[in-house]
A and B are shown apart, each in its own frame.
Chain A
Amino acid sequence: MKQVLKVEDMSVTFELHQSEVQAVREMNFTLSEGETLAVVGESGSGKSQAFLAIMGLLAKNGRAGGRAMMGDINLIGMPPRQLDTHRGKDIAMIFQDPMTSLNPTLKVRTQLAEVLVKHRDYDQQKATMAAIEMLERVGIPEPVKRANAYPHELSGGMRQRVMIAMALLCQPKILIADEPTTALDVTVQAQMLDLFKTLTEDFGTSLVLITHDLGVVAGVADRMMVMYGGRAVEKGTVDDLFYDPRHPYTLGLLHSTPHIAKRAARLDPIQGLPPSLEHLPKGCSFNPRCAFAFDRCLVERPPLTDTGNGREKACFYEGPMAYGKVA
C-alpha cells in the first residue's frame, strides 16, 4: 500500500530553565493510505507532542529533530509560511476540546468557508455550499440551520462534528485525531468512531488516532504503536498486539483494562508509576514496573527491533508472558 507519511528518527526536546527534557525519542513509523494507526500509552508518554511536532505546533520552548516525510517533503523544520500551505490541506489535526480549533466569535459557516477560500480558491458562495454539504456528511441534522450558529450554541457532540467537518473540508490525506472522543459520552463516542470509519473508507484518509482507551483502538484501528517514556515500545497490527502482545507494557495495559463482557474478580494492573522524563530509569525505561525484567534490562536499553511479520518491539525478554494472578 502507498505510504503517505514516513517518520524517521524524530525527536522532541523542550528547553527548561536550567536543563532540557526529551519528550519524544528515536521515533520511526510509517502511515499507509487509508489505514488507521492508533497511538496508545499513558499520560506524558509523548503521544501528543510527537504529532504536534509533525504539525509544526510545538510550544515555543520545544524543538523537533529528525524527519517526517510526506512524499518528498520534510515537515520537520519547515518554515511556518511553507507549512501553512500543507496544514489543513494535506494534513490536519483535531483535538479533544473542539474549541481549540473553532473560533468562538465566528459563525460555523464563516469559519468553514474560510478554509476553502484559503486553500482551494473557492468563491464565498461555492465555499459555503461545500461547507454545508460537509456538515451533513458528518451527521449534523439540519446543517443549513446549524451553519448559522456560533460554536457555543451547539452541544459538545455537535461541536466535535463541526471540528471534524472543518478538518475534512480539503480532504486531507492525513488526519491526526488527538483523544477526539475522550470527553464524550459513550453513545456520542460510538457515533463519532463510526463516522471515522466511514470517512477513512469513503475518502481514503489515513487516520492517526491518539488515545489511551484500548476499547476505542480495538474498534477502529488497523495497526497500533504503543509508547512509553517518549519511545515507541511495540508496533504491529491491532490483532497481533491484542491477542499476542510481546512487550510486557502492552500486556500490562491489556490486563489493566476492564472488559465489559468478561468480569474478573481483580484486574491485574502494572505496578508502580509511569517514569518522569527527566529521570528515566537506566537500561529499559520500563524495568522498575516490569514483571519480566532480568539483569540485562537494568543496564542496557532495548532498541526497537523488527521481530518479523511487520512487528517490532523494544524488549530483551523472549520467554512466555503469563502475567500476574488473573491471566
Chain B
Amino acid sequence: MNQTPINLLEIKDLKKTFSISGGLFSRRLTLTALEDINFTIRKGETLGIVGESGCGKSTLGRCILQLLAPDEGQVLWLGQDLTRLPAEEMRMRRQDLQIIFQDPLASLNPRMTVGEIIADPLRALRPELNKDERRARVLKIMEAVGLLPEMINRYPHEFSGGQAQRIGIARALITEPKLIVCDEPVSALDVSIQAQILNLLAELKDEFGLTLIFISHNLSVVRHVSDRILVLYLGRIVELATGDEIYEDPKHPYTRALLTAVPIPDPKLARLRNIDALKGEIPSPINPPSGCTFRTRCRFAKPYCAEKRPPLERIEDDRLVACHRWREIEVPVEAVLGA
C-alpha cells in the first residue's frame, strides 16, 4: 500500500438542485440537494458516506453513476468526465459502475427468475455472449455470493430479504464492475443477516478488487466497512477523513455530535457515556441557514458563523473539514465514545 494511490474517481464542484412545487398557488422552489462537493475515490478503497436523512447521500451516489444529471460540476472517471459522455459511451461505462439498493425485494423484477435478473445487465452490455456463456457466468457469480445453483429458476418472492440482497449483489457483480455504490445495502436486514452480507461484501471486494462507495445512516456499520468516511450535512461535505481519524479525533462539531449519538452495544460504556445530544432538527434544504449551515444546531457557533460560509479546508494531507472553529475546539475521544 505504499504506492501512490490511483484516483479512480474525482468529483469536482458538484451541484444538484431539484425544483419542487411550493403549493397550489406559489412559484416553484429550488431545493439544493448537493453543493460544493469535491473529493476523490481511490482504487480499492471503501468510502463511507454518512449523514442524517435527506442530507443528500443517495443523490450523491446517483449523480456519480449518472443516474441523475448534476446541475454543475464534473465526475471524472480515470480523468474522463462522465457528465459529458455521449449516451452510447456512458452505456458502455456502466459495466464499470454498478449500484446495490436498500430494499432488496423491491429492486428486483418480480416476473423474472433469479437467473434472468442476474443476467440482465449482460444482455445490454455484453451482447456478444451467447445463452450458455451467460448462464455459466450467472452460476459462477451465484456461487460467489452464496446462492445455490438450483435457485436459478426461482422467483424473487420466494426469497428472504438477505437472499434477495445476495441476488442484488450478484446482479451488480455480473458485469465485473470496478466500482459499486452500495446505497444502504443492509439497512432493511436483520442483524445476523446484515453481518453475513457485510462479510460477503468484504470478501467480494478482496476477490474482485472492487472499489466501494458505502452509503448508510448507521455509523457503526460504516465504521466497520470503510477506509475513509465522508460526512454530509444539508448537501455539503463537512468532514472527510480516514475511519480511525473520524472516530478517534473528529474535527467537525457535527461529526462529534453524530458519534456521541450512536448507540453502543455495551451497557457499561453506554451508561458512562455523556451524550452531547444535538438540539433541534435539520433545517429545510429549501431555505438553509446563512453562513455555516450547521450553526443552528452547533454548540460552538459564534456570530461570525452566520456571516461567512466555512470553506472546505484541507487540514492535513488527507483530511478535509468545513468549520471556522475546528482549530479551537478540543473534545477528547472519551467524551465521544465513552471508552
* Residues of A participating in the B interface, judged by any CB pair closer than 8 Å: 42-43, 141, 155, 157-158, 185-191, 193-194, 212-219, 238-239, 242-243, 252-261, 263-271, 273-274
Contact = CB atoms under 8 A, between A and B. Distances in A.
A255 B53 CA distance: 27
A190 B277 CA distance: 7
Given A187-B258, A218-B263, A218-B267, A259 B220 contact: yes
A270 B194 CA distance: 10
16 contacts: A185-B53, A186-B258, A190-B277, A194-B277, A212-B190, A215-B270, A219-B271, A239-B267, A255-B195, A256-B194, A258-B224, A260-B337, A264-B224, A266-B202, A267-B224, A270-B192
A191 B276 CA distance: 10
A254 B265 contact: yes
B198 A213 contact: no
A155 B281 contact: yes
A261 B217 contact: no
A273 B192 CA distance: 8
B240 to A, nearest CB: 18
B275 interface: yes
Contacts of B266: 218, 242, 259
Contacts of B278: 187, 190-191
Contacts of A191: 277-278
A43 B337 CA distance: 29
Nearest to B271: A219
B259 interface: yes
Interface residues of B, number: 48
Contact of B247 (A260, A273, A274): A260
Contacts of A266: 199, 202
A218 B247 contact: no
Nearest to A267: B195
Contacts of B162: 273
B27 interface: no
A189 to B, nearest CB: 7
A194 B265 contact: no
Contacts of A269: 192-196, 199
A323 to B, nearest CB: 12
A54 B220 CA distance: 34
Most buried by A among B192, B219, B275, B337: B192
Contact of A258 (B220, B257, B275): B220
Interface in B89-129: none
B191 interface: yes
Contacts, number: 139
A276 to B, nearest CB: 10
B263 A216 contact: yes
Contact of A186 (B161, B262, B268, B273): B262
Given A218-B267, A260-B219, 18 more contacts: A42-B190, A157-B281, A186-B217, A191-B277, A191-B278, A215-B270, A218-B265, A219-B270, A239-B267, A257-B191, A257-B220, A258-B221, A259-B265, A259-B266, A261-B269, A264-B224, A271-B196, A274-B192
Contact of A214 (B199, B224, B243, B265): B265
Interface string B128-167: 0000000000000000000000000000000011110000
Contact of A190 (B192, B198, B261): B261
Given A157-B281, A187-B257, A239-B267, A256 B192 contact: yes
Nearest to B260: A190
B62 interface: no
B264 A260 contact: yes
Contacts of B271: 219
Contacts of A254: 265
A187 B199 CA distance: 27
Contact of B193 (A194, A216, A265, A273): A273
Given A186-B258, A260-B247, A267-B224, A43 B190 contact: yes
B224 A186 contact: no
B10 interface: no
Contacts of B191: 42, 212-214, 253, 256-257
Contact of A260 (B52, B195, B220): B220
Contacts of B12: none
B243 A263 contact: yes
Nearest to B243: A263
A269 B262 CA distance: 21
Contact of A256 (B195, B257, B259, B275): B195
Most buried by A among B199, B265, B273: B265
B287 to A, nearest CB: 15
Interface in B246-298: 247, 257-271, 273, 275, 277-278, 280-281
B223 A218 contact: no
B339 interface: yes
B261 A189 contact: yes
Contacts of B243: 263
Interface in B211-250: 217-221, 223-224, 243, 247
Contacts of B193: 42, 269, 273
Interface string B164-184: 000000000000000000000
A260 to B, nearest CB: 4
B224 to A, nearest CB: 4
Which 10 residue pairs are nearest across A and B when measured between Cβ atoms? Answer: A215-B263, A269-B195, A256-B195, A190-B261, A267-B195, A258-B224, A219-B270, A270-B192, A42-B190, A214-B265
B261 A187 contact: yes
Contacts of A141: 280
A264 B225 CA distance: 9
A239 B277 CA distance: 24
A228 B260 CA distance: 31
